[in-house]
Chain A
Amino acid sequence: MKTLHKFHGGVHPPEHKAESNGLPIAAAPLPRRLVVPLRQHIGAPARAVVKVGDRVLKGQMIGAADGFISAAVHAPTSGIVSAVDLHAVPHPSALPDLCITIEADGEERWIEHQPLDYLAAGRDAVRARLRDFGVVGLGGAVFPTSVKLDPCALKIGTLVLNGAECEPWITSDDRLMRERAAEIVEGIKIMTHLVQPEQVLIGIENNKPEAVAAMRTACRDTGFQVMAVPTQYPGGGEKQLIQVLTGKEVPSGGRPANIGVLCANTGTAYTVHRAVNHGEPVISRVVTVTGNVEKPQNFEVLIGTPIGEVVQLAGGAKTGTSHYILGGPMMGFDLNNLATPLAKAVNCVIAASPALFPPKPAAVPCIRCGQCAQVCPCSLQPMELFWFSQSRNFDKARGYNLFDCIECGCCSYVCPSHIPLVSYYRFAKSEIAAQEREKRAAEQAKARFEFKQLREEREKAEKAARFAEKAAAAKATAGAEGEDPAAAAKKAAIQAAVERAKAKKAEAAAQAAGQCDVTPMAAVETPAESLSPCPLPPTGEGDLEPLRDGSLNPTESP
């Protein structure tokens, strides 16, 4: 048996697992309408590949992976696309995002789906399948699995499977491991095929003995080691679990692959198995519905199901429910709109009541008691980070390693002054990120500006050279005097175009103001008209040369 290591700090919030882990995962009924967000993973959002009115089949790709770090999204059921527009999505900002709405036809007709013989197919083919089947990390970060399982040149010695599920209240991984251990193990086999690790360690917190036993049974004869790790929040954090299982620390700013480790969630392994061995994309997930609901339980719910309907699966919220939390109580966020659809990242819906989640007392000044530093799993000094974040001293906050913070919430949990420490870190982090973005944009703008100046100067020089040449030629032939007739024609043509455009604009404005029966098509026609009859004479090599003040440079006339 391998020895386990410890991570610094950690807390023991009340677990509240028993409420929902007793009942098996139940299948959710098909909702009438599903709203599938295109951004369900870290990286570039998927690009919609269907349009309103399209008929889609269950499992059909409706959003394609766009860019390297991206993943596809799929129709959770068969039906008709009724909208591709902004809709509330599960995100702490409560801002809307692009979603595809599907009206279910109730037939649940699948696309043709076939397993992929991953041992015969190349590794790249397997990764491409994971990407096109929308497989992302279901532990919370929703990082595209196809990218994660591509360690490039880095040698992976250890594959860590994260079944720790350290957040209170959540039991979805627990139930999944108890009920579908064999399928999870099949998924792990695919992962090991892709990265060829020397050992596979499955970390499960020891408050889930049934899951540990089920996984041990399923892992018999595979060489995968199931490790029961101490129950301590945030023991399921990627960095912490790696530290507990291997004793190694992920370098700051790096990835686990830098120390030869890959870490994936057990739920992800399950979806890998479904995608590769069954050809089923990620169109559903197991979600815990708990808290102040009638019958807390885990459900397998289609992605895109409105969360209000998900709550109804557990008998609905009991009286006294004040709000809903998506995710766990330590890192989850408030839900603002029950029409928000379930996305791949949502592992838990908690109905909160003042009895279960007492309102936080008002904050008082930090007294530097240091309890936050004692529980910080990253050995940070949260009070210093707080001090510099609240005073917007971002350089200093960075100096105290703000970006090593994993936002686990341990510091806020123990703070006797009730300071929302993590909120300050998030604020500081996003401000710094925005500043960096702006700085990069400014640098690029500067570079482009300088390049443009350079180009203009070069063109000016070229023009001058050409002019000198022409002048010499004109002198030789003793050419005509006065204004070039071609230039005059050009000028007149431009004038005409300007007038036409002005008239159109005025007309359009009058129409928009006066009548409402103007069809959008009429407006669309305008540019074609205004462009096509434009009688600009060809200007040869000066074709791209813009006009200035409606007059033309004489050198451009043919």
Chain B
Amino acid sequence: MLSAILVMILLGVVLGAILGYASIKFKVKGNPLVEKVGAVLPQTQCGQCGYAGCGPYAEAVAKGEAAPNLCVPGGDAVAKNLADLLGVEFQPVGGSEGAGPKPKQVAFIDENNCIGCTACIKACPVDAIVGASKLMHTVLPDRCTGCELCVPACPVDCISMVPLEESIANWKWRYPVIEIKKAA
């Protein structure tokens, strides 16, 4: 009887010590969830979620203030990843299933109509538009995230979104199609 109690106490002490040590040793600093959420987001900074960029949205999601299915450019894939990350049930973006990630697109400035007002430069969250006052502006396609924020900013409607076409540089091998069921 006594020995059993002693054994249990000893066990408790030892395990407690291990747990205590582990909590110090593996202490997590800061809120890593914000960074993890940020890593899942496409960082287009488009603000379509209602937050001023991906960073604020990531913070809101991590705090549980925002739903994880508000990212429009990321589509259901991002929503699903976020739901997995937070351990909540997946809800499709926009309420209905099948909102795939938007096709990649970049802004294009019709230089014939650009009046050089710099409104789009101000609107671009990632400094992807270059130009100066009274001079023609142009979009750096490598930097453009396709967020569309510059489109409404243009007073003369000379910005359009152009889908990125597949080229040899960004071409991907397709998933091999082997229809086992069709085999016979």
Contact = CB atoms under 8 A, between A and B. Distances in A.
Do A and B originate from a single complex? yes
Interface of A: 39, 89, 91-93, 95, 97, 362-365, 419-420, 423-424, 426-427, 429-431, 433-434, 437-439, 441-446, 448-453, 494, 497-498, 501-502, 504-505, 508, 523-524, 526-527, 530-531, 534, 536, 539, 543-548, 550
B66 to A, nearest CB: 18
Interface string B154-184: 0111100000001110111111101110110
Contact of B117 (A433, A445, A494, A508): A494
A424 B176 contact: yes
Contact of A498 (B39, B125, B156, B166): B156
Interface of B: 38-39, 41-45, 53-55, 111-119, 121-122, 125-128, 132-136, 143, 145, 155-158, 166-168, 170-176, 178-180, 182-183
Contact of B173 (A364, A429, A438): A429
B113 A449 contact: no
Contact of B168 (A39, A433, A508): A39
A449 B126 contact: yes
A534 B172 contact: no
B38 A530 contact: no
A363 to B, nearest CB: 4
B183 A364 contact: yes
Residue among B39, B117, B119, B145 having the largest count of chain A Cβ atoms under 10 Å = B117
Residue among B41, B133, B136 having the largest count of chain A Cβ atoms under 10 Å = B133
Contact of B126 (A445, A494, A527): A445
Nearest to B183: A362
A335 to B, nearest CB: 15
Contacts of A449: 43, 45, 53-55, 125-126
A97 B167 contact: yes
13 contacts: A95-B167, A423-B176, A430-B171, A430-B173, A434-B170, A441-B145, A449-B53, A452-B126, A504-B113, A531-B116, A531-B135, A536-B133, A545-B133
Contacts of A546: 117-119, 121-122, 133
Contacts of A95: 166-168, 171
B75 to A, nearest CB: 13
Contacts, number: 145
A445 B143 contact: yes
Contacts of A452: 125-127
A526 B110 CA distance: 11
A17 B107 CA distance: 53
A433 to B, nearest CB: 8
B178 A419 contact: yes
A424 B121 CA distance: 43
B171 A548 contact: no
A320 B109 CA distance: 52
Contact of A501 (B113, B128, B182): B113
Nearest to B128: A448
Nearest to B172: A430
A39 B167 CA distance: 12
Nearest to A433: B172
A391 to B, nearest CB: 11
Given A93-B171, A362-B182, 16 more contacts: A39-B168, A364-B180, A364-B183, A442-B43, A446-B43, A449-B55, A501-B113, A501-B158, A505-B158, A524-B112, A527-B112, A527-B136, A545-B133, A546-B117, A546-B121, A546-B133
Given A449-B53, A452-B126, A434 B115 contact: no
Contacts of A505: 113, 156-158
Contacts of B156: 498, 501-502, 505
A534 B127 CA distance: 25
Given A91-B168, A423-B173, A550-B155, A539 B127 contact: no
Pairs of residues from A and B, 9 with the lowest C-beta to C-beta distance, nearest first: A546-B118, A362-B183, A546-B122, A442-B43, A423-B176, A426-B173, A501-B156, A430-B172, A363-B178
A89 B168 contact: yes
B95 to A, nearest CB: 26
Given A424-B176, A452-B127, A543-B133, A523 B38 contact: no
Do most interface residues of chain A lie in helix, strand or loop, or is the interface mixed?
helix
Contacts of B39: 439
Nearest to B156: A501
Contacts of B145: 441, 445
A249 B155 CA distance: 62
B45 A530 contact: no
Contacts of B155: 494, 498, 550
Nearest to A536: B134
A77 B105 CA distance: 40
Nearest to B133: A543
A420 B177 CA distance: 9
Contacts of B55: 446, 449-450
Contacts of B178: 362-363, 419-420
A394 to B, nearest CB: 12
Contact of B143 (A93, A437, A444): A444
Contacts of A426: 173
Contact of B115 (A445, A534, A548): A534
A91 B134 CA distance: 44
Contacts of B115: 497-498, 501, 530-531, 534
Contact of A438 (B42, B114, B175): B42
Given A95-B166, A449-B125, A543-B133, A420 B176 contact: yes
B127 to A, nearest CB: 5
Nearest to A86: B167
Nearest to A92: B173
A179 to B, nearest CB: 34
B36 to A, nearest CB: 13
B118 A544 contact: yes
Contacts of B167: 95, 97
B114 A527 contact: yes
Contacts of B175: 427
Nearest to B137: A546
A62 to B, nearest CB: 19
A452 B55 CA distance: 13
Contact of B180 (A39, A363, A443, A530): A363
Nearest to A420: B176
A548 to B, nearest CB: 7
A445 B44 contact: yes
Contacts of A431: 172
